[in-house]
A and B are shown apart, each in its own frame.
Chain A
Amino acid sequence: MLAALGAIGGTALKVALVFGILLTMVAYLVWLERKVLGHIQSRRGPLHVGPHGLLQPLADITKLFLKEDVIPDGADRVIFSLAPGIAVASAMSAIAVIPFGQVVSLFGHPIRLHIADVDIGILYILAVGSLGVYGLILGGWASNNKFSLLGGLRSSAQMVSYELSLGLALVGPLMLAGTLRMQGIVDAQRNLWFICLQPLGFIIYIVSALAETNRIPFDLPEAESELVAGYHVEYSGFKFAFFFLAEYVAMITVACVATTLFLGGYHGIGVNAAWLGPAWFMGKVALLLFLFIWIRGTLPRFRYDQLMQLGWKVLLPLAFLNVALTGVIAIWLDRSS
């Protein structure tokens, strides 16, 4: 009984810690994005709050908290309030199965740097990820505004389309590792990261992930020039902050998944002490996040038909090809060895 309570308490502590780190990362990811975009566009970005604008996230959060929370007339109040929560919850839940490091010992107790090591890690990520679309589509519908409805429908069509290529891109690494367990997939990359064996899968994953998180060049759901701001046009204050949070948490989540499946997770190059695992992991995640911001600063937005063409006629066949090739080569290597 005591041991069970201890296990529950330990997991709760881990969850609280990961939650805190995640929220801090989101705050500074927004700062980083503004700073990097500024420099890409020959501006200096936020400067005035704190040194180099480092306290800007705090100012932003305070502003969002203090703003009036408006629910428009004719909106469906229950679903209007529920939608941002669904968006954040589905984005955050995926982090639970990501391994951040090996087993480390703290004051003599072994601690796994992993909240839940479930058998079906990848499927779990796909499952909670597929629920994220509800936040957007319900938010768009409940606002009782034609632009939000269009934004919500667009985003769900986009997410449903790109989920296929995203899922298929993950099949490559899991075939090579021979397990759906995230810990097993990371262990299988001890000597060689899967990005070396699965370059096509990695590219398909990154492109689909950008579409799944509604980032430029795939940010059609909130295309401000045609749809005002898409599904969250009626949202303000705290509820808007939740949608904002969900988008950035989703970015971090897809970066974590890419790191775990393609970039060797917590395995480093050369130095590989158990305590360094989380540092390696964070470093790789940060690199991917920088890549996302860089892409945002570089590419224009796609047109809707181009988006669908790319998803169904390019990425999906390529993903199938990748799965078939990986299977053939894996069996061939198996036979010859």
Chain B
Amino acid sequence: MPCENYKDALTEAAASGADPANALASNAKIAALRAHFESCASCRTAFAEEQALFISIDAGLHATANAEVPASLLPRVRAALGEAATPRRGWSANWLALGAVAATVVAIFAAYSVRRGSSFENPVSTAANTSTTKGVLPSPLGQILNPEPFASRSSAPHVRKVFSKNHASPETLASRNSLPQVLVPRDQEMLLVHYAGEWGRRKRAPLVAERAAEISLAPLEVAPIQIDQLDVKLLAEEKSQ
């Protein structure tokens, strides 16, 4: 058979790293190639050249694929991670935020105007509102979770007047904003935050105080104490008995 017929088998054998001299006879192509090599010196030489080519390719690939990593890579990435943690908002996001703030301010102003007008028109309802809030007591945790002062929610004019002084005081503002910090075990911080979130959402403290005012307690009845007369005997009499 001419050498041309073994060309593909020769290349494939070299590419797969198989050595026809030591290959198993079970592979028909390799076995045929081995038989051909015994009688053809030029094909043996061609096969050796192919093997050398593949060795060069593998060596070159190894050099390319295992290049030394520059020492600056990881510090560069770590520095960039810090910036990536606080992504910049785009212009659209800024405009949205600005619009939301403006809408909130307008809504607050409108609500304040309506409320003020209604309090002038109907002072009786204002007094009733005040009486309903009288029984509600702020709890310490409630104050922590809701930094808004309890009395400022009341619409009573005298209360507003008292706290209007505090609004002018920077010390009071600072103390109101500086909420207490709590030291907790590392594994319990999530629990506390969950608890605080639930508490703040449900406003449990005022609800409990309101219910306490509604409960009617019956006067305590104590049965009169009965004391039997003491029977005192002399020691001498006891001994004689």
Do they bind each other? no
